[in-house]
């Protein structure tokens, strides 16, 4: 029905435009490139058809003529097609060629511009492309012209003698030729050059040299595609303006084993610090087959003195059932509510409930001590929680004289898809830390990843646990926790990771 040529942006998934996001959310078919961040596929419908057509270093998953035909075929099937292209479709992205093929076939199309890497990559590296003191114009140039051309389309004399900032795309293989051409046509050999590798992503690295030495320096430090080549005196501003590469976890590969439903806050904080997050949920949160016991407990809430939530998921599923039976927060009138942990407390506040008790330490002993001071002895307690969970808290409450009813409101099931990818990343040295947010994540992780994988990669891989109980479970597999925060919270865990791995990106 229609093909949208979408600019995926330069790599940072948050630089996707709102319009492109809206189209991804509704498209029937998504055709994406090597330089389009896989995280963007999270915006797509679960039932969408996904076709990867990436091209890497001359290795074409699908040749361009077949990509063109694929777009035509899907459009003629009456599908809405999102063609996701790195950067901007019309800036060295061959988007215009695809558009011409669609027009020739009589297919409707629309282009949605994206943030080009030529602007974003240097900006993240602290290099503005224009500046009143250095350059009042900028030129975007391909470093890899169409094969078979008899002579270069570039006017090297003009490029070398002008005052523009020069940005070369796809030029790393030809870097020595580019540098020599510029110098032979009059550009000073000490002109500063920057190479920005994987710009705007957690893998970003930047190398600064001068025109005479940049090719040798690129080889020395292992700079290859995808890298932008920025030539001009604006590069001098990088020491003053660079910020992104000072993020403390930049380039650090961190595995997040929490369930997808729970991982968002941890992922967001790690990514804000620059980490390369490998989402590898080892548990899956699923609803119960029947909520009849919970419904009965809700209708009998008046008989309870305390309602204790131990997780955000407990709050989520409790409230879902509360609303489904036509009730709301007013039914909690007269009942004291406890939240084990700040995230659980926030989930309650979001629903208009101020917790009566949030323990200073998030272990059973601390919880019970605090509740005893508030009169839990002799009280009747309702505990909505996971079907399978540690019995320490209810046992300690009963020892303290409370009557405790446990109501399962969700299940945690083992997960662990793509274990082979995580193992491969570990063996390549791309993983620096595995994080565990609960004992179940430890157990489920080692059910799909053999302990030997960790052992053969240590000391390169650190193991981080949110608290002592999780660390104790880890010890059962022969490992000690390298990182463990004093406060058993996600923000504290992130702070501990920053303290362990923190750098200034210098």
pLDDT, tens digit, 9 for 90 and up, residues 266-318 = 999 999 999 999 999 988 889 999 999 999 999 999 999 999 999 999 999 99
User: Among the options 2, 21, 55, 387, which is catalytic?
Assistant: 55
Q: Which tens digits make up the pLDDT trace of 132-142? A: 999 999 999 99
Query: pLDDT higher for 418 or 470?
Result: 470
Q: What is the pTM of this model?
A: 0.82
33 is catalytic: yes
Q: How many CB atoms lie within 10 A of CB 450?
A: 12
- pLDDT of 145 > 80? The answer is no
288 is catalytic: no
Alpha-carbon span 369 to 397, nearest angstrom:
9
User: Among the options 170, 173, 443, 495, which is catalytic?
Assistant: 170
Q: Tell me the average pLDDT across 60-78.
A: 90
Alpha-carbon span 138 to 119, nearest angstrom:
10
- pLDDT of 428 > 90? The answer is yes
Write phi, then psi, for 6 (nearest 5 degrees): -100, 130
Q: Which tens digits make up the pLDDT trace of 99-139? A: 999 999 999 999 999 999 999 999 999 999 999 999 999 99
487 is catalytic: no
Alpha-carbon span 169 to 94, nearest angstrom:
13
Residues 309/384, Cβ–Cβ less than 8 Å: yes
Q: Which tens digits make up the pLDDT trace of 432-457? A: 999 999 888 999 999 999 999 999 99
Q: Tell me the average pLDDT across 403-426.
A: 91
User: Among the options 12, 33, 88, 482, which is catalytic?
Assistant: 33
Residues 193/179, Cβ–Cβ less than 8 Å: yes
Confidence (pLDDT) at 367: 81
In 267-392, at which residue ranges do the beta strands (DSSP E only) sit?
Answer: 276-279, 283-287, 306-309, 336-339, 380-386
| Locus of tokens 């940072």 | 12
Beta bridge partners of 483: 464
């Amino acid at each position: 029905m229609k093909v949208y040529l979408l600019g995926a942006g330069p790599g940072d998934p948050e630089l996707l435009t709102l319009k492109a996001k809206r189209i991804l959310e509704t498209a029937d078919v998504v055709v994406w490139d090597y330089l389009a961040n896989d995280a963007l596929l999270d915006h797509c419908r679960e039932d969408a058809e996904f076709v990867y057509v990436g091209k890497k270093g001359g290795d074409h998953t699908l040749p361009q003529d077949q990509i063109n035909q694929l777009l035509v075929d899907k459009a003629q099937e009456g599908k809405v097609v999102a063609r996701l292209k790195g950067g901007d479709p019309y800036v060295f992205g061959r988007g215009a060629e695809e558009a011409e093929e669609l027009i020739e076939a009589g297919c409707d199309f629309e282009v949605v511009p994206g943030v080009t890497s030529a602007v974003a990559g240097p900006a993240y590296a602290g290099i503005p492309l224009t500046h009143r003191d250095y350059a009042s114009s900028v030129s975007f140039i391909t470093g890899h012209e169409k094969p078979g051309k008899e002579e270069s389309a570039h006017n090297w004399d003009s490029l070398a003698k002008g005052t523009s900032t020069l940005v070369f795309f796809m030029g790393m293989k030809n870097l020595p030729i580019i540098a020599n051409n510029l110098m032979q046509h009059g550009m000073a050999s000490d002109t500063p050059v920057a190479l920005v590798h994987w710009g705007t992503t957690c893998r970003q690295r930047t190398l600064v040299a001068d025109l005479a030495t940049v090719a040798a320096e690129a080889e020395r430090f292992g700079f290859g595609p995808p890298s932008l080549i920025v030539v001009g005196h604006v590069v001098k501003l990088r020491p003053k303006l660079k910020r992104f590469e000072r993020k403390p976890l930049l380039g650090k590969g961190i595995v997040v084993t929490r369930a997808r439903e729970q991982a968002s806050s941890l992922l967001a904080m790690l990514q804000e610090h620059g980490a390369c997050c490998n989402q590898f949920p080892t548990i899956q949160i699923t609803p119960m087959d029947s909520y009849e016991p919970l419904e009965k407990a809700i209708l009998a809430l008046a008989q309870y003195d305390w309602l204790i939530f131990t997780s955000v998921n407990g709050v989520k599923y409790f409230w879902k059932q509360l609303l489904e039976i036509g009730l709301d927060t007013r039914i909690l009138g007269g009942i004291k509510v406890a939240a084990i942990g700040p995230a659980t407390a926030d989930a309650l506040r979001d629903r208009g409930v101020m917790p009566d008790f949030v323990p200073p330490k998030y272990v059973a002993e601390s919880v019970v001590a605090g509740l005893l001071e508030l009169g839990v002895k002799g009280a009747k307690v309702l505990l909505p929680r996971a079907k399978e969970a540690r019995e320490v808290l209810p046992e300690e409450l009963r020892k303290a004289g409370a009557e405790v009813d446990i109501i399962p409101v969700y299940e945690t099931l083992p997960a662990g898809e793509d274990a082979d990818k995580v193992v491969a990343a570990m063996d390549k040295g791309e993983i620096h830390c595995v994080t565990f947010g609960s004992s179940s994540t430890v157990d489920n992780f080692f059910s799909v990843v053999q302990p030997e994988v960790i052992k053969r990669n240590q000391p390169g891989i650190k193991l981080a646990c949110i608290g002592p109980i999780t660390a104790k479970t880890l010890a059962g597999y022969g490992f000690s926790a390298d990182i463990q925060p004093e406060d058993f919270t996600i923000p504290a865990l992130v702070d501990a990771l920053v303290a362990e791995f923190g750098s200034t990106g210098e």
